[in-house]
Amino acid sequence: MASVDSKLDILSKKIAEITLDTNVCQVIHYYETRQGSKKVNFARLEKGLLLFIYVHETTKTSLHPELALWDHRLCIHIIKEGQCSKQRDQCRRIHETSYRQPDLCSFWYNSTCTYERKCRYVHEFTNISDHYQYIMNNTDHLVCKLIRFVRNFAGHYNDTAIKDDDDLQELHKEIVIVMVHLVHHLSPKRTHSIDHLNLFLEATTIKQLISQDRLLELLEKPYSVPEVFLECVISYNTHWYQRECKRRTIDFTQLSPPFVKYFNDVFIEFYKGRLKSRGAVAAWT
């Protein structure tokens, strides 16, 4: 039997081999200044929440057919063979799609394949641009989920459901930083500027964050989002968010050009319809 010292040596070596991904940011990195100690109340979120209610409602009809594929809600038989043995009103999955991919793994699409890389069928969508216009990759899909979350949070917010004040405060900060990422990567903007953030979000909230140069630097790095933000259904009347939670890393720089262009136009229309008449100046001219 190995001695205690030798076991400790082995354990120490394993610990030394563990490296943290310093390229992935979390909410704490955006509040590293004295201003970050100030509380972020719900009022600081409202301008951004109203924006993303508009964004979600404006885009949902166009994106719905594409989201059905990425959410794995389409009938796999329609995708692979172009037909299903069941009538559309008898099948549990959606039939309305032009997307075809005969080599797609049926089990992967239904979240049950255990072969992973050893599977002889394909575990990804390979010809998206032949059938769809906007959602071209998984990052696009995750951002759609975040927009849906922000919109649903705005509609179902219950300030008494989350009992822990620290959890509530961290949640507000998380939502601020998610909205900052969404605005930064989806709205038109000038280089080396945060005017677009001040235009679409509460300027006082942006002032609580780190310096402009540091903020712009971190916004180009992957961000670790609470996984609960990506769930389809959240029970907002329960204590649904906790500081210590599972997270999902999103690299917003991987958004596809068609997706970004589409949302650029949506943000411009929001500016023209809601902000320009109030004297706001465009942040991209």
In this prediction, residue 10 carries a pLDDT of: 56
Give the contacts of 229 (CB within 8 A, at least 6 positions apart).
145, 146, 149, 174, 178
**How buried is residue 40: exposed, middle or buried, by Cβ count under 10 Å (0-12/13-18/19+)?**
buried
Given a contact cutoff of 8 angstroms between Cβ atoms, the answer to whether 138 and 252 are in contact is no
Residue 67: closest CA among 112, 97, 31: 97
Q: Do 105 and 113 form a contact (C-beta atoms < 8 A)? A: yes
Is the per-residue pLDDT at 17 higher than 50? no
Q: What is the pLDDT of residue 152?
A: 97
**pLDDT tens-place string over residues 59-98:** 999 999 999 999 999 999 999 999 999 999 999 999 999 9
Name the token pair of 110.
């239904």
State residue 11's pLDDT score: 53
Give the per-residue pLDDT at 15.
Answer: 42
- Given phi > 0 = left and psi -120 to 50 = alpha, else beta, which region is 38? beta
Compute the mean pLDDT over every residue in the chain, rounded to the nearest whole number.
91
Q: Where are the domains of the chain?
A: 19-71+133-278
Read off the pLDDT band of 116 (50, 70, 90): confident
Say if CB 64 and CB 133 are below 8 A apart.
no
- The answer, yes or no, to whether residue 20 has pLDDT greater than 50, is no
pLDDT for the residue 190 = 97
Please report, as a single letter, which amino acid is at residue 35: Q
Contacts of 246 (CB under 8 A, 6+ apart): 226, 227, 228
Position 98 scores a pLDDT of 93
* Per-residue pLDDT reduced to its tens digit, 215-247: 999 999 999 999 999 999 999 999 999 999 999
DSSP, collapsed to helix, strand or coil, labels residue 250 as strand
What value does the mean pLDDT take over residues 23-48? 83
* Helix (H) or strand (E) run with residue 178 in it: helix 165-186
Q: Is 74 helix (H, G, I), strand (E, B) or coil?
A: strand
Q: What is the mean pLDDT of residues 122-138?
A: 95
Contact yes or no for 171/40 (Cβ under 8 A): no
* pLDDT tens per residue, range 178-204: 999 999 999 999 999 999 999 999 999
28 pLDDT higher than 70? yes
d(CA 35, CA 33): 5
pLDDT(108) > 60: yes
Please name the amino acid found at residue 44: R
Which structure tokens are listed for 274? 């809601």
